[in-house]
Structure formats: C-alpha cells, structure tokens
Amino acid sequence: MKTVLHKADTRGHANHGWLDAHHSFSFANYYDPERMNFGVLRVLNDDRIAAGMGFGKHPHDNMEIITIPLEGDLEHQDSMGNTAVIRAGDVQVMSAGTGIFHSEYNKNKDKELKLLQIWVMPNKTNVEPRYDQITLPSKVEKNKFIQVLSPNAEDEGVWIHQNAWFHLGELEQGTKLTYDLKDQSNGLYVFVLQGEVQVANQTLSKRDGYGLWEVEKVDFEATSESRVLLLEVPMAL
C-alpha cells in the first residue's frame, strides 16, 4: 500500500474577499509540483462564496466537473441552456467535452455558500457536453457509504466519462466500515468533511485528505460523528 497525506492546513489558500478558497491540489495561483493531482483527480477545491457573489461566465473543455454544495444554494447557467439551483444535498456534474461556458453564483443575498468543486480528467476527449444533477434523500442512511457517482448511467448517482466512483458517508462515533475498491488498479482519496476518522490507522480530521493506492480495501473507524467523501479514481493518467 502506498499513501499520501494532505493535512487541511497544508492546502493552498486564496482569499479574494468574495471567495475564500482552499485547494487540495495546485490550482490558479497555488502551485506545488508535489501536489498536481491524485491519479486523474485534478482539482478538489473547498470554496466559500459570499452572499450574492460568484463566478461570471467562463469556459471549460475536456474535464469532468462535479459540484457538491455543503451549505446554501448555487445558481448555475450554461451555454447548453441549463438554468438550475444546486442545493446542499445535491450533486451536479458537467462533462465539458468539446467546450462549454457557465456561470455560478450564490443565489442567496444574506448568507454564505460553501461547496466543493472537483475536476476529474476524462477517459474520452471531445465528447458532447452534458449536464446532470441529483438530489440525495433528505435523510441519508447513516453508517454506510452512499454511492453518488460512477462510470455508468444506469447506476446510483450521477455518471462521468471515467472509471471512477464517489461515495458519501455519515458515520456515528465508533462505526467501523470497510471500503472495497471497485477496480483494484484505482486509488482512493478520502476527504473528511466533518469529524475525525481513522483510515488504515491514519487519523484524519476535518478537511484532511488522504490518498491510498496499491490496495484492495480500506478500513475506516469514526472516532467522532463524522462525514467523509470517498473518491475512487484511476491512478494512470
């Protein structure tokens, strides 16, 4: 088993006033040659967007872009004609493919928006751009990993052009779980949203990231009430 640990306070940080962003991997003005990606996981941004503010229309291509609001409401518009509000409890995906423009704003004028934006490099380029979003059940079953993304349109959650699976878990203190990788050539990047978790004997706290590869399964134990995001991705670019 090989591992890489990214403690929360080692992430890149940029505070633009309206946007307070932490970067697990190199992004924009944050550059660290040792933290360019984890396999095909290229971006994991932890953003706080001020009330009424956001990103104006801007382009993307040949990237799978996943947005997970944690608190608040995100207003989305794009060149495919989609207009949507993505809320905490939703997962949004865009396959940028041959190219799209989109904008993202905090819909609320009176409170901050917190979200994760994740970029995964696709296994197919120049595909037709695509948009989708799902809403998770209002009461997610605790103490299990809920699939929210896969490579298959027929499976639970959204899908992307990559051999990747994402899961969310809400774990009560003392819960022990094992995650079996879907593809044993993949790696697993664990990102702690809340609480404290032991992952393969490594203690992780809020906003810590931990990558593991050359492993078939990963053991978890929640040492407090916790919420974790699991990102299983190919390691070969």
CATH number of 145-234: 2.60.120.10
Residues with Cβ within 8 Å of residue 183, at least 6 apart in sequence? 163, 232, 234
Residues with Cβ within 8 Å of residue 32, at least 6 apart in sequence? 12, 26
**Residue 117 contacts residue 47 (beta carbons within 8 Å):** yes
**CATH 2.60.120.10 in the chain, residue ranges:** 12-135, 145-234
Residue-level pLDDT at 137 = 84
Angle, CA of 34, 35 and 41, to the nearest 5°? 135
Q: How many whole angstroms separate alpha carbon 122 and alpha carbon 62?
A: 7
Supply φ then ψ for residue 8, to 5 degrees. Answer: -55, -40
Residue-level pLDDT at 211 = 98
Q: Exposure of 77 by Cβ count < 10 A (0-12 exposed, 13-18 middle, 19+ buried)?
A: middle
Least Cα distance to 97 among 55, 60, 143 occurs for: 60
pLDDT, tens digit only, all 237 positions of the chain:
999 999 999 999 999 999 999 999 999 999 999 999 999 999 999 999 999 999 999 999 999 999 999 999 999 999 999 999 999 999 999 999 999 999 999 999 999 999 999 999 999 999 999 999 999 887 788 999 999 999 999 999 999 999 999 999 999 999 999 999 999 999 999 999 999 999 998 999 999 999 999 999 999 999 999 999 999 999 998
Whole-structure pTM value? 0.97
Residue-level pLDDT at 223 = 97
Pick the CATH number of 12-135 from 2.60.120.10, 3.60.60.10, 1.10.10.10, 3.40.50.2300: 2.60.120.10
Residue-level pLDDT at 140 = 80
Residue-level pLDDT at 139 = 77
Residue-level pLDDT at 138 = 77
**Residue 105 contacts residue 145 (beta carbons within 8 Å):** no
Q: Which residues pair with 217 in a beta bridge?
A: 180
Q: How far is CA 137 from CA 44, 46, 67, 88, 150, in A?
A: 24, 23, 17, 11, 18
Q: How many whole angstroms separate alpha carbon 184 and alpha carbon 15?
A: 38
Element (H, E) at 93: strand 90-95
